[in-house]
Amino acid sequence: VNDRARLTEIVGPANVLADDDMTAGYRQDWTGRFLGPSTVVVRPGTTDEAAAVIKACAETSTPVVPQGGNTGLVGGSVPLSGEVVLSLTRLNRIEPVDAAGGQVTADAGAAIAAVQHAAAQAGWAYGVDLASRDSATVGGTIATNAGGLRVLRYGDTRAQLVGIEAVLANGDIVTSLPALFRNNTGYHLPSLLCGSEGTLAVITKARLRLVPPAPHKSAALLRFATTDDAAAAAGQLRRGLASLAAVEFFLQAGLDLVCETFALAHPFAAATEGAYLLVEAASDRDPIEHLAAAVNALDGVADVAVATDSHTRAALWRYRELHTESINHVGPPHKLDVAVPVAALAELVARVPGVVHAIAPTAKTWLFGHAADGNVHINVTGLDPDDDRVDDAVFRLVADLGGSISAEHGIGTAKRRWLPLARTPAEIAAFRALKRAFDPAGILNPHVLLPDERR
Amino acid sequence: VNDRARLTEIVGPANVLADDDMTAGYRQDWTGRFLGPSTVVVRPGTTDEAAAVIKACAETSTPVVPQGGNTGLVGGSVPLSGEVVLSLTRLNRIEPVDAAGGQVTADAGAAIAAVQHAAAQAGWAYGVDLASRDSATVGGTIATNAGGLRVLRYGDTRAQLVGIEAVLANGDIVTSLPALFRNNTGYHLPSLLCGSEGTLAVITKARLRLVPPAPHKSAALLRFATTDDAAAAAGQLRRGLASLAAVEFFLQAGLDLVCETFALAHPFAAATEGAYLLVEAASDRDPIEHLAAAVNALDGVADVAVATDSHTRAALWRYRELHTESINHVGPPHKLDVAVPVAALAELVARVPGVVHAIAPTAKTWLFGHAADGNVHINVTGLDPDDDRVDDAVFRLVADLGGSISAEHGIGTAKRRWLPLARTPAEIAAFRALKRAFDPAGILNPHVLLPDERR
């Protein structure tokens, strides 16, 4: 209560929420799987306010969960142990785009779609795009090092980060937002904070590089009879098509679900099984000719739909992008975002349903993802939220295949007990040393990323 | 001496060098500006040997300078205070390229050219290229986060790093070399170690992403009457030409020096002044048409030479790449690698010669660099190696223009006293916390990057 009075002093009474109804949207994640108990939500309007909040919490050893658009999928931004929620959504300014330098400075709470829009207005593009673009924020995508649909072409969020402003665990502000494309002056804090899931500092602002817009785009939806052929095609396209911008994949069951949920026509009406690749190329000139040649060189293509205009392209993308929402209509899924070596992609896709079925015979498995990166979003519906036996079995399979238990969603609370599957003891020791160096009192997202230490 | 006996036990007598003649090449940097006193050079042949060396040094609190190809330009890899040199050049294996995944694992001591060659043999390319490719190593380019000639297209070295193996200051080995394109499982140690200049750990191996080779390339050398026009053109090209791969610049004096030193014909025989841009585009198809259209849209172009075949392209590149060597023929330069916002590039180029001249009237200033990134390599010949008044004045000018005192070479020993020009006290405090977390005894490159602490 003392805490609350002090927080109210800092951000004003309208920006300290405590009523359960008012805080509900901050306490539960987007999938509905993770829900925290009653707590306080603080919404600073400036970096200085955010710093004052952290300082106040540090002085009373009050744990804090930083939160952006709350679109995370691993329970990393909800207060599962009653932490104070520090919502950054009021920090949502975007500075005028630096058109000469091709960069922009944006607040942590600005939505990705807003950054994309600002970039486009200035003749540039932002290299990161993801289905949750309207809600996901700059700060949240940095904290999780979001990947998304354009990783193949422009890299992950870390690769876009020129500079950062962040509040440290003691309330100090570190600021480095230079209008520079190259800057090698000391340890790269932006890269370290990127992917740290709010456990090392609270990101308040970022300087982002922009990319030249690719004026001409073409897309094709390919159906393969087997996942083997689809996976091989993804690798071949990545090497053979310099203008390749995305290679997404999904399966027949997911496509059927999307078409049913959103009343869409099937792309290939007669097809009742298959593995699908959505391929996009982007270039200075219409890449359709090269895309067509590359597709023709692939083995095992059963059906092709080509989109040259933006309307048809959007229609093809819808089959892929509506997967997440369609699956959520079935019920809160266990979301297992994993990556395997591209060569093991088909084996993973083949084995996962059996692994799930052996533990939960009535559960349903949905697979889609970013094929050229070996990134599969394994969604399992029909499981109890707290039953993690399927998660465990799938993660062990992934580790056996030389894969990662988190391709792009992060570890959050949902996966931290499996971190030792992904990292060696020496690495986890180095992580703990970093955590201690940045947050010795352990107030920043204390239950996220690192497993609890055995005593 | 005890140390030496133990080091000999670890790596064998042939790989512990102590004779001054034998160690000379390890003690002096490539420019000849930095020379360390007598010391011991240890050359491990495996990661385990490197770890044992570090462990031995840790136990006797013996400072160590890790060294790759020793092509660094800021005195970061030479033992200026008599540190033990840990040379990684015997660790030079490159594993078979993962052709399906588009990645390769290489030892720290492998040369960049060898990585490029291995990639090309497998139908891929390595995204980093720089003039010192034959000597610069994987480990050295990671430690300094080398940029080079393709940053514009593929990002810096950090953007290529999938995984890393490194020896920590206590001799522990951290290994994460997964064959994965996406992997968000904890703090990204590869990105943190990248650019840390050997002060946090010793890099022994890396997993690198490869890029699709761009089969068709075209280049053009443009002469502008003014640097203003050249700088504006660089920005315009970056935004307007999606296939742009490089925009390098140099001035008339540097071109004349290169032509004289290497007996080359001038590209534009009649031209006696100007600012030059070397522009390269790379694409699925011959980009010459688009490159030509983009060049035609530029203001202030006085002369153009176009290269469509690889022989002519190499000839154009020679004018740019031979700058470093030509300048070294004049005498050991002070190498001030800086970056400014692209909008301030012309102002920097205009003001630097006057700043130098005011302090050292007989010194000569040579300017070249990566124009679209605002990265200028300021070389000053005719200065005493220990006289850093020019360095100081130039760095202050750069800071006034919102720039960075190190674009891509790093801080090393040469620039560490100016780190406070580039970083805030809060940032430097965070850097020191990182250094303490990774190297509490301070044995790894103790005189590099961070300024000495005031007592």
In this prediction, residue A24 has a pLDDT band, given cuts at 50, 70 and 90, of very high
The neighbour count for residue A37, using CB atoms within 10 Å, is: 12
Does B410 sit within 8 Å of A184, measured CB to CB?
Answer: yes
- Residue A351 has a pLDDT of 97
Of the candidates A89, A112, A286, A135, the one whose C-alpha atom is nearest the C-alpha of residue A210 is A112
- Residue A323 has a pLDDT of 96
Range 157-176 of A in CB contact (< 8 A) with B? 158-159, 168, 172-176
Contact B3, B62 (CB under 8 A): yes
What CA–CA distance (Å, rounded) separates B12 from B29?
Answer: 26
In this prediction, residue B1 has a pLDDT band, given cuts at 50, 70 and 90, of very low
- Say which of A282, A419, A436 has its CB closest to residue B185: A419
- Residue A286 has a pLDDT of 87
- Residue A3 has a pLDDT of 80
In this prediction, residue B2 has a pLDDT band, given cuts at 50, 70 and 90, of low
What CA–CA distance (Å, rounded) separates A200 from A438?
Answer: 6
In this prediction, residue A455 has a pLDDT band, given cuts at 50, 70 and 90, of low
- Say which of A184, A200, A214 has its CB closest to residue B242: A214
Of the candidates A318, A305, A323, the one whose C-alpha atom is nearest the C-alpha of residue A250 is A323
Tell me the per-residue pLDDT of B176-205, one tens digit each, with 9 for 90 and over: 999 998 999 999 999 999 999 999 999 999
* Residue A21 CB burial class (10 angstroms; 0-12, 13-18, ≥19): exposed
Over residues A74-86, mean pLDDT: 95
- Say which of B172, B182, B370 has its CB closest to residue A426: B172
CA distances from B249 to A340, B117, B257, B350, B450 (A): 42, 27, 15, 14, 31
% of chain B exceeding 90 in pLDDT: 87
Tell me the per-residue pLDDT of A202-218, one tens digit each, with 9 for 90 and over: 999 999 999 988 878 99
- Cross-strand partners of B339: B375, B404
Tell me the per-residue pLDDT of A94-119, one tens digit each, with 9 for 90 and over: 999 999 889 999 999 999 999 999 99
In this prediction, residue B455 has a pLDDT band, given cuts at 50, 70 and 90, of low
Q: What angle do CA A440, A444, A447 make, to 5 degrees?
A: 100
- Say which of A403, A409, A419 has its CB closest to residue B186: A419
- Looking from the CA of A74 toward its CB, the CA atoms found within 13 Å total 33
Q: What is the DSSP string of A216-268?
A: EEEEEEEEESSHHHHHHHHHHHHHH-TTEEEEEEEEHHHHHHHHHHTTPPPSS
Of the candidates B303, B357, B430, B372, the one whose C-alpha atom is nearest the C-alpha of residue A169 is B430
Q: State the pTM of this model.
A: 0.94
Mean pLDDT, chain B, as a whole number? 94
Tell me the per-residue pLDDT of A237-259, one tens digit each, with 9 for 90 and over: 988 888 899 999 999 999 999 99
Token digits of residue A128: 């990161």
- Residue A1 has a pLDDT of 44
Asked if the C-beta of B278 comes within 8 angstroms of chain A's C-beta atoms, the answer is no
Does A407 sit within 8 Å of B212, measured CB to CB?
Answer: no
In this prediction, residue A316 has a pLDDT band, given cuts at 50, 70 and 90, of very high
- Say which of A99, A147, A343 has its CB closest to residue B182: A147
Asked if the C-beta of A123 comes within 8 angstroms of chain B's C-beta atoms, the answer is yes
- Cross-strand partners of A227: none
- Residue A31 has a pLDDT of 79
What CA–CA distance (Å, rounded) separates A52 from A6?
Answer: 10
Q: What length is written for chain B?
A: 455
Mean pLDDT, chain A, as a whole number? 94
Token digits of residue A304: 């092709």
B314 backbone dihedrals φ, ψ, rounded to 5°: -60, -40
The neighbour count for residue B305, using CB atoms within 10 Å, is: 17
Does A187 sit within 8 Å of B200, measured CB to CB?
Answer: yes
Does B184 sit within 8 Å of A145, measured CB to CB?
Answer: yes
Tell me the per-residue pLDDT of B340-398, one tens digit each, with 9 for 90 and over: 999 999 999 999 999 999 999 999 999 999 998 899 999 999 999 889 999 999 999 99
Task: Name the residue in chain A with its Cα closest to that of B102.
Answer: A239
Q: Which residue has the higher pLDDT, B297 or A31?
A: B297
Query: Which residues in B lie closer than 8 A to residue A200 (C-beta atoms)?
Result: 187
Q: Which of A442-451, B162-171, B284-293 has the lowest mean pLDDT?
A: B284-293
Q: Which residue has the higher pLDDT, A206 or B270?
A: A206
- Residue A156 has a pLDDT of 94
Tell me the per-residue pLDDT of A376-433, one tens digit each, with 9 for 90 and over: 999 999 999 889 999 999 999 999 999 999 998 999 999 999 999 999 999 999 999 9
Task: Name the residue in chain B with its Cα closest to that of A152.
Answer: B181
Task: Name the residue in chain B with its Cα closest to that of A156.
Answer: B182
Tell me the per-residue pLDDT of A271-301, one tens digit each, with 9 for 90 and over: 999 999 999 999 878 889 989 999 999 999 9
Strand order across the beta sheet in which A275-283 lies: A301-307, A216-224, A275-283, A244-251, A364-370, A375-381, A334-339
Asked if the C-beta of B238 comes within 8 angstroms of chain A's C-beta atoms, the answer is yes
Q: What angle do CA A267, A272, A274 make, to 5 degrees?
A: 80
What CA–CA distance (Å, rounded) separates B317 from A249?
Answer: 41
Tell me the per-residue pLDDT of B60-109, one tens digit each, with 9 for 90 and over: 999 999 999 999 989 999 999 999 999 999 999 999 999 988 999 999 99
In this prediction, residue B243 has a pLDDT band, given cuts at 50, 70 and 90, of confident
- Residue A33 has a pLDDT of 84
Does A228 score more than 50 pLDDT? Answer: yes
Over residues A10-30, mean pLDDT: 96
- Residue A2 has a pLDDT of 60
- Residue A70 has a pLDDT of 95
Name the amino acid, one letter, at A43: R
- Residue A324 has a pLDDT of 92
Task: Name the residue in chain B with its Cα closest to that of A439.
Answer: B433
Q: What angle do CA A303, A309, A315 make, to 5 degrees?
A: 60
Does A283 sit within 8 Å of B242, measured CB to CB?
Answer: yes
Over residues B403-431, mean pLDDT: 95
Name the amino acid, one letter, at A243: S
- Say which of A147, A182, A239 has its CB closest to residue B212: A239
Over residues A362-387, mean pLDDT: 94
Nearest chain B Cα distance for residue A18, angstroms = 32
CA distances from B140 to A83, A184, B96, B157 (A): 43, 14, 21, 10
